[in-house]
Structure 1
């Protein structure tokens, strides 16, 4: 039976960098997306839970609970759910190979599209030299990102009072700082090269909070973005076509509006067939 609210049917959905456990996580936006779609395959491509932040301070609200309930509901009603832990939820890597409540944990996956393309699915932190070789710098970068998000909140508080729309300071900084732009390019090229080395047609990843679909030397590179600022999901349609869904933008969800109470997840069956 199709869920009454699931107006969108997808073959596959890829989500990463939710960062549950942080105040910056837009869990209510993700819950809205998860309630509005059904899929045959749901990939959680890392950093779903932010263990780094939770170790330092505890933050968890009803919207975070709702995201977990909705993911489990998709698994319960027929979606093949694959969880690929990232660097922020790296503790789950101790459980690779297990299936918990219908959610399979694995270090990476190979996804075969409807039109026969073979794609490597991984979080991507293994190809981030800062995370891989200098974890202290990665933690410092994580702190700097938190600072940027807090500055972003203050800037947008002023913009709201002046009648201006929401604007992302941290995303603007990423585009303006030449080193950040070069780092993103190097990351994307490294992932594409790894897919080529394995004889695959492309790669799907997360990690850098930069939603993107492009071709690099004949290899398809796709990044599903994040649910802190861009609030994007990568979706595959039943003909093999891919699309980046910018949910907050599409639904005109306000980053200014106070977060409403979480809506309960209904147990009506979801069937993407």
Structure 2
């Protein structure tokens, strides 16, 4: 993206990046962040995955995402980090401000005269509130599924075949998962309408969405920024309009695979092997 003019955007929302996990697409996120110049950047939860953090795995590209966010704030972008469930340890520091970076649990903004309510969305998830250990265990399994899927897609790409999402296939085939997403959207929208918010913007369920919600009390626009594990999606608000953006590799300069990339991949595989081995009693 060097030398290419950056798009000016009023507001960018990203969530569920999960830095520190094998499934995170940090390099793609860096390309996206290099392509925009937002007035405001809202990080809507689960940016750093503290639940699944491993000392053995935090690649340079993951660190560069953090550096890029700090760099954006230094150049004038107002950055708001809304805590999620995978980075809930940061909630101890709620309302801390460092320059143009602030840390909050939720956020209300007025966008062109309309109230917008931003929060991650884990407060609606009973599995997290009532059995955090079970949710964490599920997170580890999801991480390995995503990594395995990336290996499959690497093989499919070599054979000039279309990529395939195992997790999306599983989610779409399980009625309970589909109902969970629908219930999440309904609860968030009903609460927004009850509190006179015209927009409600969430993350958490890794399901990018912009949809008009209506009940007997009124209407609001429900938005979800998706994730940077499977969908590689973000929300943008500019000139009074919302848009949902998906990362497309063809929109950027072709990526050259270097010897360092190969070593990083080998290191990732080594980290998986070490992580999967049971610890011996000391």
* TM-score, normalised with respect to structure 1: 0.86
Would you say 1:222 and 2:219 are equivalent positions?
Answer: no
Tell me the alpha carbon deviations over residues 144-184 of structure 1, each in whole angstroms, 9 at most, x when there is no partner.
Answer: 31232133134324423433122211112111211110000
Counterpart in the other structure of 1:237: 238
Tell me the distance in 1 between the aligned counterparts of 2:76 and 2:154.
Answer: 42
Query: Post-superposition, which runs of at least 4 consecutive aligned residues in structure 1 deviate over 2 A?
Result: 3-7, 153-163, 248-255, 257-262
Tell me the distance in 2 between the aligned counterparts of 1:86 and 1:140.
Answer: 17
Q: How many residues align?
A: 256
How do residues 43-82 of structure 1 correspond to structure 2 at under 5 angstroms?
Answer: 43-54=42-53, 56-82=54-80
Pick from 87, 108, 111: which aligns with 1:110?
A: 108
Tell me the distance in 2 between the aligned counterparts of 1:110 and 1:145.
Answer: 31
- Contact 1:11–1:236 (CA<8 Å) still a contact in 2? yes
Pick from 184, 187, 193: which aligns with 2:184?
A: 187
Alignment CA distance shift 1:60-1:66 (3 Å) = same
Tell me the distance in 2 between the aligned counterparts of 1:241 and 1:199.
Answer: 19
For the aligned residues, what is the CA RMSD? 2.3
Counterpart in the other structure of 1:267: none
- Contact 2:52–2:140 (CA<8 Å) still a contact in 1? no
Tell me the distance in 1 between the aligned counterparts of 2:258 and 2:46.
Answer: 22
Counterpart in the other structure of 2:139: 142
- Contact 1:248–1:254 (CA<8 Å) still a contact in 2? no
Tell me the distance in 1 between the aligned counterparts of 2:100 and 2:259.
Answer: 29
Unaligned runs of 5+ residues in structure 1 are 263-273
- Contact 1:5–1:35 (CA<8 Å) still a contact in 2? no
SS class of match (1:204): strand
Question: Which gives a bigger RCO, structure 1 or 2 (Cα 8 Å, sep 6+)?
Answer: 1
- Contact 2:22–2:143 (CA<8 Å) still a contact in 1? no
Alignment CA distance shift 1:162-1:13 (3 Å) = same
Tell me the alpha carbon deviations over residues 59-82 of structure 1, each in whole angstroms, 9 at most, x when there is no partner.
Answer: 111111211111111111111110
Structure having the higher Rg: 2
SS class of match (2:51): helix
Tell me the distance in 2 between the aligned counterparts of 1:141 and 1:189.
Answer: 24
- Contact 2:76–2:100 (CA<8 Å) still a contact in 1? no
Tell me the alpha carbon deviations over residues 81-130 of structure 1, each in whole angstroms, 9 at most, x when there is no partner.
Answer: 1000101111111111111243100110012223x221110000011121
- Contact 1:123–1:205 (CA<8 Å) still a contact in 2? yes
Unaligned runs of 5+ residues in structure 2 are 262-282
**216-225 or 94-103, which deviates more:** 94-103
SS class of match (2:235): strand
Counterpart in the other structure of 2:119: 122
SS class of match (1:164): coil
Would you say 1:163 and 2:146 are equivalent positions?
Answer: no
- Contact 1:120–1:195 (CA<8 Å) still a contact in 2? yes
Tell me the distance in 2 between the aligned counterparts of 1:206 and 1:132.
Answer: 17
Tell me the alpha carbon deviations over residues 184-221 of structure 1, each in whole angstroms, 9 at most, x when there is no partner.
Answer: 00111111122122221121010011101101212211
Counterpart in the other structure of 2:251: 251
**79-88 or 172-181, which deviates more:** 172-181
- Contact 1:75–1:103 (CA<8 Å) still a contact in 2? yes
SS class of match (2:61): helix
